[in-house]
């Protein structure tokens, strides 16, 4: 018997095998996320664009500029923006199919409140009054920290500013958290502890200059296709070498010069072994490195135990290869070091980021064009939200909540009594959910995020959400896995339906002009939150008439800060997209590369070489659960499929959960290609189709993380993953837990 797939059709085992083969064949002829020649413009046969509106892609941190083709208040086409310096007119499969996410049957069209087991429609005035009342009553009874906001990392700068001004400035709680926690928190802690501040140094244009790309735990071909394509082109021109470090033979690894298919979780050992070879073979200019880095002697001593023999035993890589790659790095003049979720989503993700950046520092690949750590986030606004202070420890302009003088600066600017702004950091999402579970957090307002599907050990997360006294869900869609638990539903506008600006991962500004009206009664998120703020009595502080006025206020708070953006205006962003902060004046050209003088924000103006030890994942395979489960993304889906899962041509490529397994393990577990198996961990189980491939290391299995309960109760991949977190960054360990497979 076939199963019901996401598109409502039955999918037999034979069809599944054919579909997999079809996707492979499609890749070969051009329907490939990186090199596809198929023009997937969402062009209507009958409706041609009457106008083109400048905007930006709604997905990843590359931040491709684009233009939206509009006809009679309908998006009928999209095309890459040629003058945007990041993508130069290019878009990937997701970008080309953006319009499909607007016209789905499950758009949330009206404010609603829970009525028994279902919901009933109410007007906007009643809805925002109810939200304001709930917030007021909850704070009156339980204090400011009994309420919290959890927002997506795809919102605009102005929206984050308004959210933070209300919660941190007016309500007195720093409980403003974002989904960036799930994808880049460890990397950001790594940047802070290596550089002394959250300081992405490089530009996308560095890709065109590099002679070496070291890509670790990062399937860029699937997750950053436009950037990866640029890397591949640059590699041809510059004869640059591409080294990919990954336990899976991903599309990225297949296109590399060298793929180091190491044992899962052993990255830190490998990085320290590279440092060992570089330092012991005289490949490091000690005097030069000491001029810009602290921690040199400690690191040299620390890495002595990470010999190539030791690393070879732990990583499974040949000793000679480890030595050869270390020499290549040590000799590189323009090396770019790029990493992603494979390092970040770990209980020691922050250590791995530090150890990886050590390699750039030791090889002199810092403070010059074409070299350094290039950190591109998974979500479009994961950079911008940090600048605006949309994490529980931050305030606008990268100010820190616990610093009295920095809090006082913001309080003065907002006209708030400094004593009203809490000196205590707010809570990251794991603790907000724990707070709900324990009854300490009473009210949670979620904006465009779906933690019931995306949080690890999602059964636990769902249970925690069900305990909320008040759960407000503001989203473009309903139902989602999370909206099911809401008491109040607020329809938010999304991409193309609202105005604002973003900074991408290289700190570049792009404007997103509104192209069409949102459907039904849906409204821009900022307007909804400001309505609530005014009903709470903050009319004066939220008297903005539009997003441009919000940006003009926000940018004043960046004066003298690392992200100084006083030189930016909406008109400038539209005329010249991609200008990178700092840009303090109107005639300042922006700052493509930082720290070219090798003066850093850390102690003594230096970066820090960090000495770390390896630690195993929190849950390792054992006799009962003998396999290591890795989860990750696929090129044609994004997050929990709330958007891309409804675009038929994307959804049908991978209609159900699949499991990659090595041929030897498949034999051992007596399973065959295309069969259904039950994958179980100590927390739950899912049903998955088997894909046998030697692209995964023996002893590990891989599942795509996009599927949640709405794809089927037996499809929720995060019901398997472990709710353990990076020791500092509190980012979940999605890349490792113990699993077993059984016959479905």
Q: Which chain residues interact with ligand SF4 by CB under 6 A?
A: 57, 59-60, 62-64, 87, 91-92, 94-95, 224-226
> H-helix or E-strand containing 253?
helix 251-254
Residue 512 phi, psi dihedral angles, 5° rounding: -120, 100
CA distances (Å), 633 to each of 384, 469, 712, in order?
23, 34, 19
Of 91 and 446, CB closest to ligand SF4: 91
Give 634's Cβ-side CA count (13 Å radius).
Answer: 25
Cα–Cα dist 592/547, whole Å? 26
Smallest distance, ligand SF4 to C-beta of residue 684, A: 30
Smallest distance, ligand SF4 to C-beta of residue 91, A: 4
CA distances (Å), 83 to each of 33, 60, 64, 76, 86, in order?
22, 19, 11, 21, 9
Smallest distance, ligand SF4 to C-beta of residue 564, A: 25
Of 272 and 379, CB closest to ligand SF4: 379
Q: Across the strands, what pairs with 688? A: 677
Cα–Cα dist 79/66, whole Å? 6
738-743 vs 685-692, strand pairing mode: unpaired
Smallest distance, ligand SF4 to C-beta of residue 105, A: 24
Of 252 and 332, CB closest to ligand SF4: 252
Smallest distance, ligand SF4 to C-beta of residue 377, A: 10
Of 506 and 714, CB closest to ligand SF4: 506
Where does residue 132 fall: left (phi above 0), alpha (psi -120 to 50 degrees), or beta otherwise? alpha
Smallest distance, ligand SF4 to C-beta of residue 204, A: 11
Of 226 and 629, CB closest to ligand SF4: 226
612 touches 605 (CB < 8 A)? no
Helix 349-362 / helix 267-280 crossing angle, nearest 10 deg? 20
Angle at the Cα of 231 from the Cα atoms of 226 and 236, rounded to 5 degrees: 130
332 touches 370 (CB < 8 A)? no
Q: Across the strands, what pairs with 74? A: 71
Smallest distance, ligand SF4 to C-beta of residue 636, A: 11
Smallest distance, ligand SF4 to C-beta of residue 225, A: 5
Closest CA to 154 of 185, 184, 178: 178
Of 84 and 541, CB closest to ligand SF4: 84
Smallest distance, ligand SF4 to C-beta of residue 58, A: 7
Smallest distance, ligand SF4 to C-beta of residue 375, A: 15
Tokens at residue 442, please? Answer: 């009473």
Closest CA to 662 of 632, 686, 690, 681: 690
Where does residue 554 fall: left (phi above 0), alpha (psi -120 to 50 degrees), or beta otherwise? alpha
Residue 211 phi, psi dihedral angles, 5° rounding: -105, -5
Residue 684 phi, psi dihedral angles, 5° rounding: 180, -170
Of 62 and 461, CB closest to ligand SF4: 62
Cα–Cα dist 211/280, whole Å? 23
Of 255 and 689, CB closest to ligand SF4: 255
Of 80 and 582, CB closest to ligand SF4: 80
Smallest distance, ligand SF4 to C-beta of residue 220, A: 9
Of 497 and 564, CB closest to ligand SF4: 497
The DSSP secondary-structure symbol of 179 reads G
- Longest alpha-carbon distance in the chain: 72
Smallest distance, ligand SF4 to C-beta of residue 75, A: 15
Cα–Cα dist 452/468, whole Å? 13
Cα–Cα dist 531/490, whole Å? 12
Of 224 and 407, CB closest to ligand SF4: 224
Of 158 and 506, CB closest to ligand SF4: 506
Of 224 and 351, CB closest to ligand SF4: 224
Angle at the Cα of 366 from the Cα atoms of 363 and 368, rounded to 5 degrees: 120
Of 40 and 158, CB closest to ligand SF4: 40
Smallest distance, ligand SF4 to C-beta of residue 64, A: 3
Residues 356-367 as b/e (b if ≥16 CB within 10 A, e otherwise) read: bbbbbbbbbbbb
Angle at the Cα of 377 from the Cα atoms of 374 and 380, rounded to 5 degrees: 130
Smallest distance, ligand SF4 to C-beta of residue 451, A: 22
Of 20 and 27, CB closest to ligand SF4: 27
3-state secondary structure of 149: strand
Cα–Cα dist 685/247, whole Å? 23
Q: Which residue is nearest to ligand SF4 (CB)?
A: 95
Q: Across the strands, what pairs with 687? A: 678
Of 196 and 380, CB closest to ligand SF4: 380
Cα–Cα dist 357/376, whole Å? 14
Smallest distance, ligand SF4 to C-beta of residue 40, A: 11
670 touches 700 (CB < 8 A)? no
Smallest distance, ligand SF4 to C-beta of residue 572, A: 21
């Amino acid at each position: 018997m076939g199963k019901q797939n996401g598109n409502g059709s039955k999918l037999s085992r034979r069809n599944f095998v054919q579909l997999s083969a079809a996707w492979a064949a499609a890749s070969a002829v051009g329907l490939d996320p990186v090199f596809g020649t198929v023009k997937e413009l969402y062009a209507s046969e009958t409706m041609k664009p009457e106008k083109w509106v400048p905007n930006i892609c709604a997905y990843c941190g590359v931040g491709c500029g684009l233009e939206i083709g509009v006809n009679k208040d309908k998006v009928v086409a999209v095309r890459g923006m040629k003058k945007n310096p990041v993508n130069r007119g290019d878009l990937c499969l997701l970008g080309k199919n953006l319009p499909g996410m607007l016209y789905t049957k499950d758009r949330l069209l009206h404010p609603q409140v829970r009525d028994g087991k279902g919901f009933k429609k109410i007007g906007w005035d009643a809805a925002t009054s109810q939200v304001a009342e709930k917030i007021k009553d909850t704070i009156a009874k339980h204090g400011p920290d009994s309420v919290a906001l959890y927002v997506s990392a795809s919102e605009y700068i102005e929206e984050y500013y308004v959210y933070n001004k209300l919660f941190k400035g007016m309500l007195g709680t720093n409980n403003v958290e974002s989904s960036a926690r799930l994808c880049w928190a460890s990397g950001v802690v790594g940047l802070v502890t290596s550089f002394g501040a959250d300081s992405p140094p490089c530009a996308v244009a560095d890709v065109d200059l590099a002679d070496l790309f070291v890509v670790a735990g990062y399937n860029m071909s699937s997750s950053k296709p436009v950037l990866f394509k640029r890397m591949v082109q640059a590699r041809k021109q510059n004869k640059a070498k591409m080294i990919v470090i990954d336990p899976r033979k991903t599309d990225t690894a297949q296109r590399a010069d060298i793929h180091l298919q190491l044992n899962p979780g052993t990255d830190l050992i490998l990085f320290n072994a590279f440092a060992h070879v570089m330092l012991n073979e005289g490949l490091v200019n000690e005097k030069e490195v000491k001029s810009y880095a602290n921690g040199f002697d400690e690191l040299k001593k620390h890495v002595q135990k990470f010999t190539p023999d030791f690393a070879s035993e732990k990583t499974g890589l040949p000793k000679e290869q480890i030595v050869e790659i270390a020499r290549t790095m040590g000799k590189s003049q323009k090396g770019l070091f790029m990493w992603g979720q494979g390092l970040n989503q770990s209980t020691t993700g922050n250590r791995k980021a530090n150890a990886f950046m050590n390699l750039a520092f030791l090889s002199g690949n810092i403070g010059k064009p074409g070299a350094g750590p290039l950190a591109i986030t998974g979500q479009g606004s994961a950079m911008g939200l940090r600048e605006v202070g949309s994490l529980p420890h931050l305030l606008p302009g990268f100010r820190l909540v616990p610093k009295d003088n920095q809090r006082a600066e913001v309080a003065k600017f907002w006209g708030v009594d400094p004593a009203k702004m809490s000196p205590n950091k707010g809570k990251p999402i794991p603790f907000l959910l724990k707070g709900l579970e324990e009854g300490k957090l009473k009210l949670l307002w979620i904006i465009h995020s779906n933690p019931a599907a995306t949080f690890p050990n999602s059964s636990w997360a769902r249970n925690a959400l069900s305990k909320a006294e008040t759960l407000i869900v503001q989203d473009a869609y309903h139902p989602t896995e999370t909206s099911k638990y809401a008491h109040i539903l607020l329809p938010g506008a999304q991409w193309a339906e609202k105005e604002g600006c973003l900074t991408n991962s290289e700190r570049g500004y792009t404007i997103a002009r509104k192209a069409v009206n949102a459907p039904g009664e849906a409204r821009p998120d900022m307007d909804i939150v400001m309505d609530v703020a005014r009903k709470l009595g903050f009319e004066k502080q939220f008297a903005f008439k539009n997003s441009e006025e919000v940006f003009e206020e926000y940018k004043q708070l960046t004066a003298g800060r690392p992200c100084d953006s006083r030189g930016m205006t909406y008109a400038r962003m539209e005329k010249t997209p991609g200008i990178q902060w700092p840009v303090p004046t109107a005639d300042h050209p922006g700052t493509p590369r930082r720290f070219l003088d090798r003066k850093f924000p850390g102690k003594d103006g230096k970066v820090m070489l960090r000495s770390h030890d390896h630690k195993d994942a929190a849950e390792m395979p054992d006799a009962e659960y003998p396999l290591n489960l890795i989860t990750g993304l696929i090129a044609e889906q994004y997050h929990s499929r709330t958007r891309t899962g409804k675009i038929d041509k994307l959804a049908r490529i991978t209609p159900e959960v699949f499991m990659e397994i090595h041929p030897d393990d498949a034999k051992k577990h007596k399973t065959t290609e295309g069969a259904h198996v039950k994958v179980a961990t100590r927390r739950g189980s899912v049903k998955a189709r088997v894909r046998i491939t030697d692209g995964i290391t023996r002893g590990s299995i891989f599942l795509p993380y996009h599927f949640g309960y709405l794809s089927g109760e037996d499809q929720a991949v995060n019901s398997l993953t472990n709710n353990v977190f990076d020791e500092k960054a509190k980012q979940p360990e999605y890349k490792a837990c113990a699993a077993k497979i059984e016959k479905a």
